Structure 1
Amino acid sequence: MPTARSALASRRTWIAAATATVGWLALSAPAQAQAPTPQPAVQAVASFSILGDLVKQVGGDRVAVQVLVGPGADAHVFQPRPAQARQVAQAHIVFANGLGFEGWMDRLLRNTKFKGPRVVASEGVDAIAHEDGDEHDHEHEKEHAHGHDHPKAAQAPAHAGHDHDHGPNDPHAWQSVKAVQTYVNNIERGLCRVDAAGCDGYRRNASAYREKLQALDQDIRAAWAGVPPAQRKVITSHDAFGYYARDYGVEFLAPQGVSTESEASAKGVAQLARQIKAQNIQALFVENIADPRLIEQLGREAGVKPAGALFSDSLSDAKGPAATYLDLMRHNTQALVRAVRGS
């Protein structure tokens, strides 16, 4: 008759054997197949980083977005690389700002033989006519005619073969939150056109994002509410904030026109420096896409130190303060209000 000790030992031996068997069966059984990660239904190309973010907000996981002019880069002087041309050729849909912002886009689409839909995100916005043409060019020609040297634009000079004529309108409509509501509507319609199966999702995403835009607009108005209109004067590198100025009652002055490729005349810089002194303007900003030397020169002549950087035509990288459109507008507003208040 087995003793209690021998019975306990026998039970331990059985448990160990059973555990080993279960482990062996687990190792020898075929691994359960994992569900494949769903692939995006739409391959989209957006011309520049701000527009790319808007397409991502509406498209969600169903849309893979390739951005041609990435964070920190300047669309005014952009030249597509062969790899980017291939992205366009393989895309289901292309999104552009319009209003003459991407002077290189028509040629790129022709060269890549792109046949899909092209969505102009700014279609339907209340565009601002700019005065960057005849008056500026006339001043520029006078300086050359007299042999004067004058400060160059904040970016590289115009190159042969570039197409950077912005036409009669200011292209920087994304600086208006109200205008971006129209952008979102156009993006939603474009995605529904190429992906009917995902249209309900695009509509939900667009609706949710429009609510965020409405809240953003209210926050910006609240931030400026306590600043007297006479105090709302800002100097920036180029004339990229006309829509923000119109919506929120801020006066922006710039030595360059709407393109970073335009040149600031020596006379224009001197006049602006005198205006800064006369009106005691303290809010002087460089832009994230611009060479800071022109603004630094202006600051020295006017005796004003630059207050920091604004994000005009581009987002920051993912770790920066303007990684999304909403972040960009909040960052710029906070920086502007602090500067005009002198805080």
Structure 2
Amino acid sequence: AVLTKGVTPINFKPEFADADAAEGEDTDPHAFQSVANAKIYVKNIADAFCTADAEGCDTYKANAAVYTEKLDALEGDVRTAIQSVPQEKRVVITSHDAFGYFEKAYGLTFLAPEGVSTESEPSAADVAKLVSQVKQDKAAAVFVENIVNARLIEQIASETGVKVGGTLYSDALSQPDGPASSYIDLMHNNIAQIKGAILGS
């Protein structure tokens, strides 16, 4: 079964191309960052289980329906949180392009730090360029992604005075006792971090 059937793929943004070209991917695999896509996955998973185990199909479909209701509530929470952020403040800088589907679904803009590898130590000139970018793009917050070195992001934030958000989870869940131990917790964590950093709450 193809669990992504029905999901419209998007490509990585050009400004993230250097980092993600190394991964050998043009297509952004983080479709689950849109709750609508997560609902498609749930339906496809239930259908695949039904194909493999017809006797259990009613149970699979019932479980999928219960989880889809939870995803509907999550979608509402995400949209409500974004709507509480003024339109002109919906711009953030993050060090990894994992949020293209989130951007498309919910109307936030995620920008890459320009001209700097997130894997190596930035030079003074690199930092100056990034500080200019934050000011020019009127970014409202800067985020440290859970799998990329945080030093660069911290440096930009200290030079610009924009808020440094907490961790946004993109590729992996947290530990079981962490803030993103399930998909729903991951999305709630991310939206709380985004809203909190932008609004300064």
Using the size of structure 1 for normalisation, the TM-score is: 0.51
**Aligned partner of 1:249 among 95, 107, 125:** 107
Q: Where in structure 2 are the equivalents of 1:276-315 lying within 5 Å? A: 276-304=134-162, 306-315=164-173
**Aligned partner of 1:201 among 44, 49, 59:** 59
1:221-267 CA-partner distances (Å, limit 9, x unpaired) = 112222221111111120111111111111111238xxx99889978
Equivalent residue number for residue 121 of structure 1: 3
Query: In structure 2, how many angstroms separate the alpha carbons of the residues matched to 1:245 and 1:284?
Result: 15
Query: In structure 2, how many angstroms separate the alpha carbons of the residues matched to 1:300 and 1:228?
Result: 23
Equivalent residue number for residue 85 of structure 2: 227
**Aligned partner of 2:71 among 213, 217, 221:** 213
Q: Equivalent pairs: percent with the same residue?
A: 47
Equivalent residue number for residue 45 of structure 1: none
Asked if structure 2 preserves the Cα contact closer than 8 Å seen for 1:296 and 1:306, the reply is yes
Asked if structure 2 preserves the Cα contact closer than 8 Å seen for 1:191 and 1:199, the reply is yes
Using the size of structure 2 for normalisation, the TM-score is: 0.84
Gaps of 5+ in 1: 1-118, 138-152, 159-163
Asked if structure 2 preserves the Cα contact closer than 8 Å seen for 1:130 and 1:170, the reply is yes
Asked if structure 2 preserves the Cα contact closer than 8 Å seen for 1:175 and 1:241, the reply is yes
Matched, 1:327 2:185: yes
Equivalent residue number for residue 166 of structure 1: 25
Tell me by how many angstroms 1:200 deviates. Answer: 1.4
Q: Which has the larger radius of gyration?
A: 1
Tell me by how many angstroms 1:195 deviates. Answer: 2.1
Asked if structure 2 preserves the Cα contact closer than 8 Å seen for 1:282 and 1:342, the reply is no
Higher helix share: 2
Equivalent residue number for residue 196 of structure 2: 338
Tell me by how many angstroms 1:120 deviates. Answer: 3.5
Query: In structure 1, how many angstroms separate the alpha carbons of the residues matched to 2:163 and 2:13?
Result: 28
Asked if structure 1 preserves the Cα contact closer than 8 Å seen for 2:13 and 2:97, the reply is no
Change (3 A) 1:323 1:230: same
Tell me by how many angstroms 1:182 deviates. Answer: 0.8
User: What's the secondary structure of 2:139's corresponding residue?
Assistant: coil
Query: In structure 1, how many angstroms separate the alpha carbons of the residues matched to 2:122 and 2:84?
Result: 35
Asked if structure 1 preserves the Cα contact closer than 8 Å seen for 2:34 and 2:105, the reply is yes
Aligned length: 198
Gaps of 5+ in 2: none
Tell me by how many angstroms 1:313 deviates. Answer: 1.1
Query: In structure 1, how many angstroms separate the alpha carbons of the residues matched to 2:182 and 2:59?
Result: 21
Change (3 A) 1:196 1:340: same
User: What's the secondary structure of 1:307's corresponding residue?
Assistant: strand
Query: In structure 1, how many angstroms separate the alpha carbons of the residues matched to 2:109 and 2:139?
Result: 11
User: What's the secondary structure of 1:166's corresponding residue?
Assistant: coil
Q: Where in structure 2 are the equivalents of 1:138-149 lying within 5 Å? A: none
